[in-house]
Structure 1
């Protein structure tokens, strides 16, 4: 009889309906994170489609994430989409900060864990800039967003070059961009992208190549921009600094450039698609307490 009661207690304890429900803030964090992955997916899917059309000479120039957001601003109901996209990107930023500062993914304090969390932190800063760009376009949409972005890049490079050892600082920025690109390429080869997905083994096996292709494309896409920024620092010439989209245009002008650009575009589309999959299937585990983990 005792064994029967013990068995019954163990079965009741394992019933999902009897588990203590997660706090409201944790459920809200999960929803926000999933929305954030969807917003990231929308951005990169747009980048991929617009770049693929540019490579086929069916549209304008290749674009980066900020260029895709600027394109969205010029579409019907563009201001509504910008507002929603900005909110989605901010939701992704808060999830990145939870990952980086509060170790939501339980990466720990090992060297690999700290490097992963540092990458998540800087990723969050990048998406915060994208969110800021979306909200800025709500206030003012320039006639030529790409030219405005390039002019802003020139101005920022000039300010940096005017500082003591400014050429070395600008070269360092280029090397940092190069490091981001290489890190994406390495991650494409080494990362187990299904480790955080709550999906069937068959589905996980099917979607993993999307992630690898996406990170590989992102990594290689950063390299032309990194080289241009390094050369700008080396020559102390701010006009060499350009935008992400303009750097892709430089690639297109090379031999076999349209084919290379098309492959990169397909990689962006794969990355955007995988972001949507993460929004649906990723295991979101908000930290139990908001205590920074050093």
Structure 2
């Protein structure tokens, strides 16, 4: 049975608007994560690592003038990103095919959509005043629930390995500049193309480093059978800051995440979706 037959094709203009709004919202989130992490690294403005996960970013937006309206716009953008990714995965708009490799890529699109749908829901919770847990707590909860299952340590270990592989692939994807094919096909001016490629490279590597550290923490949770060892971006930033030259390492990764956010903005503005 062809699953795409049950999902109507979206009008191209509608999909394009959703994609661009979604990429812009993702850019906002990553730029703010990077800025807050950089401030935490050098203790600027009283910021610390407790403010650097997704919930911290959303709370920061909420504390600004017209915060609920601003956060509502971000939540809407993240929801648009979710729908775009689901359309990519289910309708196969990128023509990845139905072989093993194509299914894997489409599954990655769907998973990405679901993750950002969760972020949109978290933002909505904060707007409605229902609180919301931090990214680190959610991963600790996941590790705790998995450890309660039969072969729980192995399950947490599988999550750890998958996360580390994802992070290493992000680093490879950035260093190999595989992402630049779509940029070059769009026929941008050389300066725009150069800036996008450079921002993308730095951004993907920084993002990959964070994923690898999160995977390492899950691995420690598996080996020690202790869910408190697991964590999200907040814990990953704390891990970097507590290392030798920690403030500089965290500052470098933070700047990289800002570059990733800028790359998302430039994709929304210039890249054909």
Structures share fold, TM-score greater than 0.5: yes
Question: Aligned match of 1:218 in 191, 207, 217?
Answer: 207
SS of equivalent to 1:134: helix
- Cα deviation, 1:195-222, whole Å, max 9, x if unaligned, reads 3343424021232010011000000011
> Structure 1 residues 231-240 or 192-201, which shifts more?
192-201
Cα drift, residue 128 of structure 1: 1.3
Per the alignment, residue 42 of structure 2 pairs with 56
Per the alignment, residue 177 of structure 1 pairs with 163
* Residue 137 (1) aligns with residue 123 (2): no
Per the alignment, residue 188 of structure 2 pairs with 200
In 2, Cα distance between equivalents of 1:115 and 1:154? 27
Matches within 5 A, 1:1-20: none
Matches within 5 A, 1:1-294: 25-58=11-44, 59-62=46-49, 63-109=52-98, 112-140=101-129, 142=131, 149-197=135-183, 198-202=186-190, 203-284=192-273
In 1, Cα distance between equivalents of 2:95 and 2:138? 39
- Cα deviation, 1:78-101, whole Å, max 9, x if unaligned, reads 221221111100101111112222
In 2, Cα distance between equivalents of 1:126 and 1:216? 20
SS of equivalent to 1:196: helix
In 1, Cα distance between equivalents of 2:160 and 2:101? 24
SS of equivalent to 1:60: coil
- Cα deviation, 1:171-194, whole Å, max 9, x if unaligned, reads 212222112211211111234333
In 2, Cα distance between equivalents of 1:94 and 1:235? 38
In 2, Cα distance between equivalents of 1:111 and 1:50? 40
Cα drift, residue 55 of structure 1: 1.1
- Cα deviation, 1:264-288, whole Å, max 9, x if unaligned, reads 011111100010111011212xxxx
Contact 1:153 1:242 in 2 (8 A): yes
Cα drift, residue 116 of structure 1: 3.0
Q: How many residues align?
A: 259
Contact 1:199 1:281 in 2 (8 A): no
In 2, Cα distance between equivalents of 1:73 and 1:55? 22
| Structure 1 residue runs without a partner (length 5+) | 1-22, 285-294
Cα drift, residue 154 of structure 1: 3.5
Contact 1:61 1:249 in 2 (8 A): no
Q: Tell me how large the CA RMSD over aligned residues is.
A: 2.2
- Cα deviation, 1:137-180, whole Å, max 9, x if unaligned, reads 122354xx77x554444333322211111121112122221122
Q: CA distance change for structure 1 residues 220 and 136 in 2, over 3 Å: closer, same or farther?
A: same
In 2, Cα distance between equivalents of 1:162 and 1:112? 33
Q: CA distance change for structure 1 residues 39 and 164 in 2, over 3 Å: closer, same or farther?
A: same
In 2, Cα distance between equivalents of 1:213 and 1:73? 29
